[in-house]
Amino acid sequence: MKLKVIPEKCNGCGICVDACPFASIKIEDKCAKILDTCTDCGACVDVCTEKAILAEEAEVPVYRNIIVFTTLDDNKYPKGVENLIGIAHELAARTNERVEVVTCCEDARSCEKTMDMLFKAGAEKAYLIEHKFLKEFQPEIYAKVIADFVKSKKPKIFLMPATYDCNELAARVASILDIGVVLNTTALNIDEFEGHLLQTTQIFDAQYDATYLTDGRPQITTVCVSALPQMTFENEARGEIEVVKPELDLSEMKIKKIKSTSLEKEPLTLKNARIVLCCGRGGRNNLNNLNELARMLDAVVCGTKGCVDAKVITDDLQVGITGESVAPDIYIACGVSGAIQHVDAVKNAKLVVAINKDGNAPIFKIADAGIIGDLNDILPAWIEYLKSSRR
Amino acid sequence: MNTPNIVVCIKQLPSSKTVRIDKKTGKLVYGTEETINPPDRNALELALQIKDKKGAKVTALSLTSEYCDAVLREALAMGVDDAIIVTDKIFKSADSILVANVLAQALKKLDYTLIIFGENGCGIPYASAYTGVRVAHKLNLPVVTGVCDAQLDENEIEVLRKTDMYNEILKIPLPAAISVRIDANKPRFLTARNINLAYKREIKKWSAQDLIDVSKIKTAYKVVNTNLRFEKSACMLFTEGDASTKVAALMKFIKNRLVIQRL
């Protein structure tokens, strides 16, 4: 219900002002005016002698279907989008809805082939938002276009892959629509009773899983596709393509791009590597295996003082209080006993893994996980494991 | 040129040692919020660098559920000119929409040229993220995320934005809002003298009641439940089976422990 004053009928008597329990109505220029604080209770409608206040039944908008958004870079979508469509299918099947995709592009015709691949992955319809300013990703413009699109198509659920760009876009769209958004979800579920989307994400350094229910439609979320089970879907039918041509007023766009450079992949160093493998004195004879494992894990090999003294590792790669300190996501100590001078330099690592023959080695006191065993067995087994899992 | 006013919004985090799950509601409960959200130090540093170069008035603004000023004292010790704390019980279960509304109302009372936020890390409760984007939208300001460096001019600001894939240089007209990456700069060290002085300064106290109508709070998030994924406890040893079984078990453990990969 929404209240409306008809100025021609209102005589400005002020009965409604006295009747309003929320002080949300006032008289301006001999005409009642309803303020933002109005709760639509209707008290003023009942008292008005002139029938100058009308209650309009607001239309309840119907939100249906799941729409998956993807960015296109050079007509390619991020890996994982096909799987995301599969996941959307799984969710849509429970409430009997459709899965559609939407993307922004400069020229709709050039992306038809890409859309065919998404139809194959399970999309039933594709929307192409076409405009010459949508050639490359610009958060401000994309957010406006997508927010308008969502307003007009009214999907129930709006999914995006959790890329850097999409996370920002989701946040911007949600703030334009003034609704909630959950980023980087690792599990999705449908509420059995109401059919709402339940979104699970990791909080507090991934120590906790929290499941949220967001109010407002659509429910927007970005999905960490790799964290969810693989859901591939083979669809033969070719879906329908609808081209949407938005009107863009560029004067509203305040952010100006001066220069843009794509990033070259930086060479791995002790400081930027997310995984660091450390060779201790117990690992001296396994350097080849360590290097092979490091190559497969995108890791850097470093050494303890003992190893550097034995000239197995160069001294710029020494980790310890007389060498470098490191703070990688994973620190893997191979044949490292765990002397305090060494351990102190890795205390900021998020996860410490130790492999050692000696179950009483002090390294196990600070490690989060470990294997007691011979490096000669463990390292080849690890390499073999990675090789077979990548096949 | 008038002295620009820079407002840095700082988030306070509870110490992770006090966090536990309330079995009845499934929500996380925690003690007093007392540590600074790490990237907010980088936001302060960027503001102070602009101040050092061009001269500016830097104000730190923070919301808490219970009065705790350690974080703002730290900001004062770093060199901000003014500190404001908004305290109210309602923030105990606040989500990003409520926080953004209150911040926007508080900012309206201040005269700002530039608003700086720290980019959200991963370890944040209610990681509904991008509060800065929401605040900027409420104030109808242009906003840029992922900022690593900024040059403030009279009517515009030039920023270096970094993402996973590319770097770009952008120009934004003032007033504007930016959010700063955690690797943008190295926050300055606090000297004992400055810390000492910081405790003699006054911190302005505001209440949420002054800013918004507390009876009409809008929130959009409901926590359905929370699960502990792992205890940070003693070393998990894999001793069963042969080498390949151990390795497989270890890899499973590592995958579960890591903060999720985006794709």
Handedness of CA B227, B232, B237, B243 (dihedral sign): positive
- Name the stretches of chain B with pLDDT < 50: 122-128, 263
What is the C-alpha separation between A351 and A331, in angstroms, rounded? 6
- Partner-chain residue, chosen from A261, A351, A369, that has the shortest CB–CB distance to B167: A261
Asked if B124 has any chain A CB less than 8 Å from its own CB, the reply is yes
Residues of A in contact with B172 (CB under 8 A): 254-256
Which residues between 24 and 43 in chain A have a beta carbon less than 8 angstroms from any beta carbon of chain B? 37
Tell me whether residues A168 and B130 touch, CB distance under 8 A.
yes
Residues of A in contact with B246 (CB under 8 A): 371, 373, 378, 381
* Cβ atoms of A332 and B254 closer than 8 Å: no
What mean pLDDT value characterizes chain B?
A: 83
- The two tokens of residue A130 are 């076409």
Strand residue runs (E) in chain B: 5-10, 12-14, 20-21, 28-29, 33-36, 57-64, 82-87, 114-118, 143-152, 156-162, 166-173, 176-180, 204-207, 221-228, 236-238
Tell me whether residues A206 and B258 touch, CB distance under 8 A.
yes
CA-based nearest distance B51→chain A, Å: 23
Count the neighbouring beta carbons within 10 Å of the beta carbon of residue B232.
9
CA neighbor of A215 nearest in space, from A191, A187, A179:
A179
Asked if A372 has any chain B CB less than 8 Å from its own CB, the reply is yes
At residue B20, the 3 state secondary structure works out as strand
- Partner-chain residue, chosen from A79, A254, A378, that has the shortest CB–CB distance to B172: A254
Numbers of helices and strands, H then E, in chain A: 11, 19
CA-based nearest distance B200→chain A, Å: 33
Residue showing tokens 């920002």: A168
Burial A155-164 (b: 16+ CB within 10 A, else e): bbbbbbbbbb
At residue A159, the 3 state secondary structure works out as strand
Q: Name residues whose C-beta falls within 8 Å of residue A64's C-beta, 6 or more positions apart in sequence.
A: A97, A98, A154, A155, A156
Tell me whether residues B229 and A207 touch, CB distance under 8 A.
yes
- The two tokens of residue A306 are 């003992």
Q: Name residues whose C-beta falls within 8 Å of residue B215's C-beta, 6 or more positions apart in sequence.
A: none
CA neighbor of A143 nearest in space, from A170, A182, A180, A179:
A170
pLDDT value at position B242? 83
Asked if A16 has any chain B CB less than 8 Å from its own CB, the reply is no
pLDDT tens, chain A, 391 aa long: 577 888 888 888 888 888 888 888 888 888 888 887 777 777 888 888 888 888 776 666 788 889 999 998 888 888 888 889 988 988 888 888 889 999 998 888 888 888 888 888 888 889 999 888 888 888 888 999 999 999 988 899 999 998 888 888 998 999 999 888 888 888 888 888 778 888 888 877 677 788 888 888 889 999 888 778 887 777 777 888 888 888 888 777 888 888 888 877 777 888 878 889 998 888 888 888 889 988 888 889 998 988 888 888 888 888 888 888 888 888 999 988 888 888 888 888 888 999 988 888 888 888 888 888 888 888 888 888 888 877 6
At residue B101, the 3 state secondary structure works out as helix
pTM confidence score? 0.79
Residue showing tokens 């087994």: A381
Which residues between 8 and 27 in chain B have a beta carbon less than 8 angstroms from any beta carbon of chain A? 16, 19, 21
Residue showing tokens 């030039």: B158
Asked if B122 has any chain A CB less than 8 Å from its own CB, the reply is yes
Which residues between 47 and 76 in chain A have a beta carbon less than 8 angstroms from any beta carbon of chain B? none
* Cβ atoms of B96 and B75 closer than 8 Å: no
- The two tokens of residue A242 are 């609808």
Q: Residue A164 to residues A126, A184, A212, A375, B1: CA-CA distances in angstroms?
A: 23, 10, 21, 38, 37
- The two tokens of residue B191 are 């000297």
**If you write DSSP's letter for every residue of A161-201 in order, what string do you get?**
E--HHHHHHHHHHHHHHT--EEEEEEEEEE-TTT-PEEEEE
**If you write DSSP's letter for every residue of A367-387 in order, what string do you get?**
-SEEEES-HHHHHHHHHHHHH
Asked if B195 has any chain A CB less than 8 Å from its own CB, the reply is no
Asked if A263 has any chain B CB less than 8 Å from its own CB, the reply is yes
What is the C-alpha separation between A239 and B231, in angstroms, rounded? 48
**Nearest residue in B to A274, CA atom:** B258
Tell me whether residues B260 and A80 touch, CB distance under 8 A.
no
